Structure 1
Amino acid sequence: MEGEPTAELIRAQLRRLRLNADLSQEEFGKLVHFSGSQVSAIELGQRPLDRFFLKRADEVLGTGALLTSLLKLAERDGQPSWFRPWLEAERQAQQMRCYQPTLVPGLLQTENYARAVIRTDDMICDDELERRLSVRMDRQSILSSPDRPKYVAVIEETVLRRADEGFRGLMTDQLAHLIECAERPHIHVHIVPTEVTMHVGLVGPFALARGSDGGWVGHLENQLGGVVVDNDEDVAILLSRWESVRSEALSRRQSIELMKEVMTS
């Protein structure tokens, strides 16, 4: 996996902790519900690190979640270089703004919705899908942390109504989660109704994060990944476009009522 130095540290710590507990690979495997050969393959780096395995290992070895915490670091280190500055901006943000014309924003996605979105890329294997999914779910923790930022999202109504027969149950759960998020005091979700046919935001999704120093950083998504925007002039343009997009959306309460209507229709 990417972030290999951290992955090597996890494997070394796993082996050290197991030996300190005076457990053979077979004995340890029985406790974590894996075979001894699987434990060996994980320790030797012949098998990818598994979140469930490490969670069980933490419980059995009484590590205080050391191994799963290290896995989160490895996953963060394994992110593409262009994305790491934005992850850091998210973690330090006091305010966040996001506009999405085609999808529910990542920080508000359910696990099943996120998996379906990631799975649309048929070039990634199952292990990579699960790695990306765990990173996305972990990112959401900033919205429930003690120093959580104020988060404002603007979404197109068409995003809520994109549900064929096979996707409807998943989308119903996603809408329920979105409503629950929108009713938290620090999260605002605003919907741009379908009757607003053209506006500047339709050019593409973007996000903004304001740090403790008062400065803003932007993030633009594209088919190849994304780019972090920290140039003052470009950030000013994004802030101006945010105001334009936000002005087209319904109020917070109207948006929640619309989401409830879509969910039950």
Structure 2
Amino acid sequence: MEDEEAEAVLRAVGRQIKLWRETAGLKQTELGDAIGYGEDMISAVERAKRIPQPDFLDRADEVLGAGGKLAAMKKDVEEVRYPKKVRDIAKLEDEAVEMGAYTALHIHGLLQTPEYARALHETRRPAYTEEEIDRLVAARMARKVVFERVPRPFLTFVQEEATLRRPVGGKMVQRQQLEHLLEVGKLRHVEIQVMPTSRADHAHVSGSFRVLKLKGGQTLGYLAAELHGRVTTEPREAQIVEMRYGMIRAQALSPRESLAFIEKLLGEET
């Protein structure tokens, strides 16, 4: 595990469960039988190799007579349930009053359906395990609270045309994804634009990025990369990212034209 914060929390939880289990005089198999989990799961949680679900901690607390001490760890576990990269960007999204995102290779994470997100993660090499995919998809869906936050942040997205045409997960998943884009694009605080492949003028062709304006007035740039994204807080760099995003929005189809374009794609898929 490369996430030191999550590892520390899970090791502490695992040690507590083991301590309470041994104090109760139970073997891992016996605890598993009592709370409805297999011995392998008990062992993995105690060794910080698996993240326990809230139900696991509630049942273990009751069976081991921990008096709420294990159940109280649900909050700590929930905070590290998702990968650090996701937690970090989610914190920025939570502070943003305005966010703009340009995406070149796939539908932006905040716009993805669960089926599309799963299919996208399944294409990753080296391959993720099913548990890793479940965790990543859940994390991506959890970030969608940014759409519901009050006061509403202003959210804009520019998608390359190719991302709409690529049938990630197959034709049905692609169709559901396009329908979802139409739904989200009709929200008053959201604007989705399409950058046509035929556009000769393009202010940025070197990868996806984001611009975030925070509550305190600070502007940040987030530059996506293959393995690790990078947040830039340096004013000059953030200014350049913001300028490029403004140019890209001007070069793309308008929000109204973009929704019409997506509807047209849906018609072609019928």
Same fold (TM over 0.5): yes
Structure 1 pair 40–211 and aligned structure 2 pair: CA distance change class (3 A): same
Post-superposition Cα deviations, 1:9-42, rounded to whole Å, max 9, x if no partner, equal 44467679999xxx9977875686423x245324
1:150 to 148, 154, 161: 154
Structure 1 residue 104 corresponds to structure 2 residue 117: no
After TM superposition, give the deviation of residue 87 of structure 1 in Å. Answer: 3.8
Structure 1 residue 118 corresponds to structure 2 residue 140: no
Which whole-Å CA distance do the structure 1 matches of 2:180 and 2:244 have between them? 27
Query: Is the partner of 1:199 in helix, strand or coil?
Result: coil
Which whole-Å CA distance do the structure 2 matches of 1:249 and 1:132 have between them? 30
Which whole-Å CA distance do the structure 1 matches of 2:152 and 2:30 have between them? 42
After TM superposition, give the deviation of residue 171 of structure 1 in Å. Answer: 0.9
Residue 219 of structure 2 corresponds to which residue in structure 1? 216
Runs of at least 5 residues in structure 2 that lack an aligned partner in the other structure? 63-67
2:236 to 233, 236, 254: 233
Query: Is the partner of 1:103 in helix, strand or coil?
Result: coil
Structure 1 residue 73 corresponds to structure 2 residue 72: no
After TM superposition, give the deviation of residue 93 of structure 1 in Å. Answer: 0.6
| 8 Å contact from structure 2 (residues 101, 157) kept in 1 | yes
Report the AA paired with residue 180 of structure 1: E
TM-score (ref. length: structure 2): 0.79
Which whole-Å CA distance do the structure 2 matches of 1:85 and 1:43 have between them? 24
How many aligned residue pairs are there?
Answer: 256
Structure 1 pair 84–135 and aligned structure 2 pair: CA distance change class (3 A): closer
Structure 1 pair 221–72 and aligned structure 2 pair: CA distance change class (3 A): same
109-118 vs 39-48, which moves further: 39-48
Q: How does 1:166-205 map to 2 (within 5 A)?
A: 167-205=170-208
Residue 34 of structure 1 corresponds to which residue in structure 2? 37
After TM superposition, give the deviation of residue 152 of structure 1 in Å. Answer: 0.5
Structure 1 pair 129–230 and aligned structure 2 pair: CA distance change class (3 A): same
Runs of at least 5 residues in structure 1 that lack an aligned partner in the other structure? none
Which whole-Å CA distance do the structure 1 matches of 2:253 and 2:150 have between them? 29
Q: How does 1:14-53 map to 2 (within 5 A)?
A: 29=32, 33-35=36-38, 37-38=39-40, 40-45=42-47, 47-50=49-52
**Percent of counterpart pairs with the same letter?**
25
After TM superposition, give the deviation of residue 228 of structure 1 in Å. Answer: 0.8
Query: Is the partner of 1:225 in helix, strand or coil?
Result: coil
After TM superposition, give the deviation of residue 120 of structure 1 in Å. Answer: 2.6
TM-score (ref. length: structure 1): 0.80
1:141 to 145, 165, 180: 145
Alpha-carbon RMSD across the aligned residues, in angstroms, is 3.3
Which whole-Å CA distance do the structure 1 matches of 2:149 and 2:16 have between them? 28
Structure 1 residue 57 corresponds to structure 2 residue 73: no
Which whole-Å CA distance do the structure 1 matches of 2:267 and 2:187 have between them? 21
